[in-house]
Amino acid sequence: MSTDRKGWHDDVTTNSSGPGAALAGHRALLLDTIRGAGEMSRASLARTTGLNAATVTVAVRDLIADGLIVEIGRAASTGGKPAVLLALAAESRYALGVHLDHTSITYVIADLSGKVVAVWPRRGGADARAPQLVVERIAAELTTFVQRIGIPTERLLGIGLVSPGPATSATGIALSSPEMRPWIDFPLVDALAAATGLPVVLGNDATAAAVGEFWSGHVDPTAMFAALYMGTGIGAGIIMAGNPILGSSGNAGEIGHICVARDGALCWCGSRGCLETVAGAAAIVHAARAAGRAPAGEFLHDQFADVAREALAGQPTAVALFEDAADYVAVAVQSLTNILDLDHVVLTGPAFAIAGALFVPAIQRQLAHAFFARGTHGVEVTVSSNASYAAATGAAAMVLQSELAPRPTMSGRPAATSGASPSAIAGTGPSTSGAPLVAAFD
């Protein structure tokens, strides 16, 4: 697998048709480049991508005809005729992201640039309900959401659906955590595609969150980076110079099941001493109770948030619990970073949205004195600016990537997608500007 950015797109195709179809790989590279830069002239595109000027001219003409990019004016003159600048037509396409969790479903609409147009978090998730009923609920709520935000349906590219791993099936979802066992082998992708008429891409929450960080331009596009995702469990999405690493079965990055205590407690996965057994949200809440605290809230996430708030306020017992958990996470991140020689680790997901600041110092300390290649380069550790809705946002980004800029994933099996065709796409239509950034209607 080459990680040469100029090479990725050569052997992949998009779903675009028309005279530019033969240039599909170039189109994806050009879209990626314009997206990353914000605005660019044709000459700069040719210089940056290494494509020749004639190829850029033809591909750009097709991208403009498809409504994916627009000319936005001219650059400042540097002596000759000022160059015409190109930018993404951000409102020309939208993707839907759905994060199906045990106790909630979060919906996101993102535009072509990956910017979140609207978020709709809903209580009640996949727990103990007939999967087909949940699929019908998702289809109905997506219809409501799209109508309320005012997105023309012909601009929808598809649905990205994420949920906690592990995935064991290419077309279904096989979540063997206790809460999700009724879902084993349910054909979720096909059922949702049938219920909505839109293509569906399935992924796990951590990988989706990493794709979302990449697509929205929050990390250096050439970086080796991991999104460390903490919700109910802990996972890592890995992207190396733009290529998501999925592993043989889509389960790469299961850092929550790295052994950090050889004879430690039994984990739900069947192993002992997993990171989740000492630093997962449930472990922290359990430890807080054992230490005499009484975390408030009906759901685990609320109870975790309550302990985190106590720690952030300096309550000594809660501070000690988080210091202990953060030290475990730090050694696991050291292992991940040594194996992958990472440049950047982004903490994301609902638990890190609340408690990220309690983990960052321990991880930074550990990497500063124990990362193997520390004499060669540092590793940046940050908290995502979009940590709360990272999985749903990433799910939408997975659709943008798979439909518009497909690239090989480092996986032994094809990514799970529905057989549905992409919806018809119109390049023109009424403007949707003015849509709220975040909607929380109920």
- Residues making contact with Zn ion (CB under 5 A): 257, 267, 269, 271, 274
Cα–Cα distance list, 77 to 82, 83, 334 (Å) = 5, 8, 49
Query: Could you give the CA distance from residue 238 to residue 413 in angstroms, rounded to a whole number?
Result: 17
- Least gap, CB of 227 to Zn ion (angstroms): 20
- Least gap, CB of 359 to Zn ion (angstroms): 19
Strand pairing report for 234-240 and 224-230: antiparallel
Residues 6 or more apart in contact with residue 268 via CB below 8 angstroms? 177, 178
Q: What is the dihedral of CA 339, 341, 346, 350, to 10 degrees?
A: -10
- Which is closer to Zn ion, CB of 271 or CB of 317? 271
- Least gap, CB of 254 to Zn ion (angstroms): 8
Rounded to 5°, the CA angle 313-318-321 comes to 140
Number of Cα atoms under 13 Å in the Cβ half of residue 393: 28
- Least gap, CB of 255 to Zn ion (angstroms): 10
Starting from the edge strand earliest in sequence, which strands make up the sheet with 69-74, in order? 40-41, 84-88, 69-74
- Which is closer to Zn ion, CB of 98 or CB of 274? 274
Query: Could you give the CA distance from residue 88 to residue 70 in angstroms, rounded to a whole number?
Result: 6
Contact 426, 66 (CB under 8 A): no
Residue whose tokens read 């997962």 = 280
- Least gap, CB of 163 to Zn ion (angstroms): 17
Helix (H, G, I), strand (E, B) or coil at 246: strand
Query: Could you give the CA distance from residue 160 to residue 98 in angstroms, rounded to a whole number?
Result: 6
- Which is closer to Zn ion, CB of 274 or CB of 285? 274
- Least gap, CB of 352 to Zn ion (angstroms): 19
- Which is closer to Zn ion, CB of 267 or CB of 379? 267
- Which is closer to Zn ion, CB of 249 or CB of 315? 249
- Least gap, CB of 178 to Zn ion (angstroms): 12
- Least gap, CB of 177 to Zn ion (angstroms): 10
- Which is closer to Zn ion, CB of 55 or CB of 271? 271
Query: CB-based burial of residue 276 (10 Å sphere; 0-12 exposed, 13-18 middle, 19+ buried)?
Result: buried
Backbone angles phi, psi at 70, to 5 degrees: -135, 155
Residue whose tokens read 């219920």 = 195
- Which is closer to Zn ion, CB of 135 or CB of 258? 258
- Which is closer to Zn ion, CB of 267 or CB of 330? 267
- Which is closer to Zn ion, CB of 257 or CB of 301? 257
- Least gap, CB of 438 to Zn ion (angstroms): 35
Count of CB atoms situated within 10 Å of the CB of 429: 12
